[in-house]
Structure 1
Amino acid sequence: MPQARRKVPFSGKAKKQQLQAKKQNKTLLLSNPSSVPSNDTYNDQINAYMAVNYQPTKSRGRSDGNRYALKFYRESNEELKMKKEEAFKSLNPVSEKEMEIDPTDYFPKDISFPQRPPWDFNMTAAALDAQEQKYFREYIQTLQNSPHWKDMSYFELNLETWRQLWRVLEMCDILLLIVDVRYAGMMFPPSLYEYIVNDQKKNMILVLNKIDLVPASVVAGWKDFLTDKYPGLRVVYFTSCPGYNLAGGSSDKGGLQVRRRKGRQRMCAEGATKILEACKDIVRNEVDLSAWEKKIKEETNVEFEDDETEVGETIYEKVDTTYYTHEKYKNGVLTIGCVGQPNVGKSSLMNAIMGKKVVSVSRTPGHTKHFQTICLTTGVRLCDCPGLVFPSKVPRSIQILMGSYPIAQLREPYTAIRYLAERLDLPRLLRIEHPENDDTWSPRDICDGWAKKRGYLTAKAARLDTYRAANSILRMALDGSLCLWLRPPKFTEKREKYEECQEIKYIKWVQALTNENVADTPSDSGTEVSSPNDDSQESDDDSDEQTEIANKFAALAGDD
C-alpha cells in the first residue's frame, strides 16, 4: 500500500514569503477577480498597491482590522534603484528663500478629493455600496488619465477610509481641519475648503497645531497668508505642549533644544480657549456653549496622568451611519468634525481639549481606524476622523517628513534624508564626523556618520546599519527634535512685519510663555534640534536659567 508523501520542512523564509503574498492579495483595491485576463496581469495589479499597518486576521466573528488599512501605490523596482543611486550624490544646500512654498503649486484646481455620490433613502445598502464602489473606481481612473498623474504622490486608496470622511462631513456643523504648522501649506487641501464652505455652506476652522516647534513669526505668516487667500476661514493656534506641561531646562550644554513632557499634565487651556472663541463666533446664540467654557476654567489647573484613559460612555464607535441627513445644531448640540492628515496631532488635540486621554494616540500613521464620537459636554460633541492623505503633488520626501507614511515601512529613506539635509545642517546638529574624512556630504554619508556615532551595526556582518540610522534621523525630524519648517510665500520680505505684529502675543499666550525672549522659542534660523538621546549630551544643571512659564488663562480676558 503506497504511503502518503512525507511532509517537507517549512522554513521561516518560506513562511514569510507566504504571509507577504497573502498581504498583497488583500491590498488589491481596484481589480475585479471575475475579469482578470491572466496571472501576469493579476500579479501586476497586486504589485501596484501596498497596504500600510496591515494587521493579522482577527478571530472568527470579529470585524476585519484591515478594513481601514491605509493603501498607497507601490514604487517600482526601477524607481527604487534610481533613488538609491542618488543617495551617493553630494548635497546641494538651498537658500532660505527657496524654503518658501505656495500651496497652489501642490494642489492644482483640477485635482479634488473623492466626494460622496448622490444617494437617497430609497436605495438599499447593497445598491449604495455598489454605487460608491463604481464612483471610486471611476475617480481613480480619472486621476490616472490626468496630466498630473506622473507627479502625484502618496494618497489614500482605501474607499472605506474615504467613507469615514464622508460620514464626518455629513454629521458636522463645523469642520475642524488640523494641520502641522511646519508644513501648513502642504496639508491644506483647497478642494476641501471649497466643498465645505461653498458647496455645503458650513464653517471651517483651521487649527495650526504644534506651534511650539516653530518661530512665532512663521505662525503669524501662515495665518496671514491663509486668511487672505481663503475668505471666511478662521485660523486658530494650538499646541499640546504648552510651557507648563514641559519640565527641565530649555537646552543642553551643547546648545541644542530639549523638550521633556511632564508625567502629570494639565489641560491645554489656551489652545482650547481659542477654539471655543471661534465656535462661539460661528454659532452666536444658537447653541449654549457655557458648559464648555466652564469646563475649561474648572480644569485649567487640574493635573492628569499622561497614560490615563477614559473608557465607558465617553467613546462611541459608530458602526452604521450609512443613512444620515444633516440637521444643523440638532437637539441643541454642536457637532465638530476633526479632520487632518496622519500625524498632525488630531488625537492629541482632542485629548488636550477634553483635559484627559479619551483617544488613543500613536506616532504610526493610520492608527485611528474609524471615526469616533466623543461627548465634550452635553452641548458639544467631537467626531474624530481617521487620518487621510489627500491627492496632491506634494513630493513624497516631504510626505515622509510630515508623517503621512510609516517610516518603518519605507523602502527607500534617503530621498527624505536629502531633502532634510539640504535645508538643515545635519552634520553640525548631530555632531557627526564624515565616515571617510571628506568635506563633501551625501545622504548616505550622513546616515553612515550617525550609525557610527550611535553604534548601529548589522547583526551578521557588523557593518554600519545605514538604514536604521536613516530611520532614526527621520523619526527625530517627525518628532520635532530635528525641526524643519517651511515658510509661506514672501515670508523673507515680510519677516520684520510678522515679528512685530499683534498676533505674536496671542501665539506666545497659546504657548504659555510669559517671557517673549525665552530660550526655548525656536529661532528663524531653521536649525533647532532636540537632544537625540545621546549619552554624551547632558542637560543643564538646575542652576542654569530656566524658562519662565505660567498658565495665563485670564490673560486675554479683557481683550476683544
Structure 2
Amino acid sequence: MLSILKSVIKRSDVILEVLDSREPELTRSRRIERIVKGSGKPIILVLNKGDLVPLDVLKGWKDFYEMQGFKCVFVSSREHQGTKFLRNVIKESLRGRTGVVGVIGYPKTGKSSVINVLKGRHAASTSSVPMSTGFTKALQIVRIDSRIYAIDTPGIIPPDGDPLERAIRGSKPEDLEDPLKVAMALIERISRFNKGSLTQAYGTEFSTPLDLLEKIALKRGWIFRKDREPNVDQAAVQLIRDFHEGKIVYYTKPKGFEDDKTSNI
C-alpha cells in the first residue's frame, strides 16, 4: 500500500487529502501528510460532507488548518457545493499549467464523489460500503477538464487506530472484532458533541447507547425468534453504516472554537 501511495504522490502535481467534515482530525493521515510534504508537492485539505456541519464550524476548521500552513477548502459532494472554489484552488496550485491531482484519504471520506462533482458528472466508481470487493481495485486516472487530471486512490490507506477510530475512518463493521462495543462508543462520542443528533436520525429518545440500539432493532423488526429479544448486534452494524453514509448529522469543533450562530453550508 505504501509503495502505491508513494507512486501516486510521485505522479501527481498536487495532492488533495479528503477529510470527513464531522471528524476532520480523526480522518487525517499525518503519516501521509509527512510523505507529501517531503516530496515538495502542494497539499490541499478538502473537508467533504460539509452539508452535515454548520457553516461557522466549517469556517473554524478552515481557519484552524490554514493557521498550520495548509490550504483548506470545504465542500459537499452530495449537494454539489463548494466544488467551483475547490477547482479554482487546484488551478492556483498548478499555476495555470496542465497537471495531475492525486486524491487520497481514508475510506468513506468521499474521494471518488469529490472527483465526480469536480468533473460535473459520474467519473469514478463509488460504493456505499467501504472498500467493497469489485470497486476500483486499480488506480483510476480521470479527466476533470482540458487541463486537470485526477488519480483516484480507493483503498490504499486502510483504516487504522483503535476500534472506534477505525470505524470513523471507514472500516466495514464486519471487519471490526466487536461492532456492538464500537457502536456504543460511537453513540457516546456523537452524544458528547451533539446530544440530539441521534434522536433526530432515528426518531426516538434514548437513555443509554444500548437503549438506542434496542430501539433501532425493535423499530426495524430485528428480533430473535427464540426469546423475542432485540438483535442489538444487527442494529450496531447498521448504525456504523449509517455513520459512513452520512445519515448522522453531527460535528466536532476545532480547538479554541467559539460558538456563534450556526447555519448549514
Q: Give the TM-score taking structure 1 as reference length.
A: 0.42
1:223 aligns with 2:223: no
Preserved CA contact (<8 Å) 1:341 1:404 = yes
1:347 aligns with 2:112: yes
Letter in 1 for 2:117: A
Question: Cα 1:443–1:174, aligned 2, differ >3 Å: closer, same or farther?
Answer: same
1:171 aligns with 2:11: yes
Structure 2 counterpart of 1:363: 128
- Distance, in Å, in 2 between the alignment partners of 1:277 and 1:427 is 36
The structure whose Rg is larger is 1
Question: Cα 1:408–1:340, aligned 2, differ >3 Å: closer, same or farther?
Answer: same
1:195 aligns with 2:35: yes
Letter in 1 for 2:259: R
1:397 aligns with 2:164: yes
- Distance, in Å, in 2 between the alignment partners of 1:473 and 1:378 is 41
- Distance, in Å, in 2 between the alignment partners of 1:206 and 1:469 is 33
Structure 2 counterpart of 1:205: 44
1:344 Cα deviation from its structure 2 partner: 0.4
- Distance, in Å, in 2 between the alignment partners of 1:353 and 1:374 is 10
- Count how many residue pairs are aligned between Structure 1 and Structure 2: 256
Residue segments in structure 2 that go unaligned for 5+ positions in a row: none
Question: Cα 1:372–1:272, aligned 2, differ >3 Å: closer, same or farther?
Answer: same
Structure 2 counterpart of 1:142: none
1:433 Cα deviation from its structure 2 partner: 7.0
1:461 Cα deviation from its structure 2 partner: 5.2
- Distance, in Å, in 1 between the alignment partners of 2:149 and 2:205 is 53
1:452 aligns with 2:263: no
Question: Cα 1:490–1:454, aligned 2, differ >3 Å: closer, same or farther?
Answer: same
1:403 Cα deviation from its structure 2 partner: 4.8
Preserved CA contact (<8 Å) 2:140 2:151 = yes
1:398 Cα deviation from its structure 2 partner: 3.5
1:171 Cα deviation from its structure 2 partner: 0.2
Q: For residues 104-133 of structure 1, give each alpha carbon's deviation from its aligned partner in whole angstroms, at most 9, with x where no partner exists.
A: xxxxxxxxxxxxxxxxxxxxxxxxxxxxxx
Question: Cα 1:427–1:277, aligned 2, differ >3 Å: closer, same or farther?
Answer: closer
RMSD: 2.6
Structure 2 counterpart of 1:279: 90
- Distance, in Å, in 2 between the alignment partners of 1:462 and 1:205 is 51
Identity %: 25
Preserved CA contact (<8 Å) 1:371 1:385 = yes
- Distance, in Å, in 2 between the alignment partners of 1:426 and 1:201 is 41
Letter in 2 for 1:404: G
> Which segment is superposed worse, 473-482 or 352-361?
473-482
Letter in 1 for 2:100: T
1:479 aligns with 2:245: yes
Preserved CA contact (<8 Å) 1:347 1:384 = yes
Letter in 1 for 2:150: L
Question: Cα 1:483–1:420, aligned 2, differ >3 Å: closer, same or farther?
Answer: farther
- Of 470, 492, 495, the residue aligned with 2:259 is 495
Question: Cα 1:168–1:442, aligned 2, differ >3 Å: closer, same or farther?
Answer: same
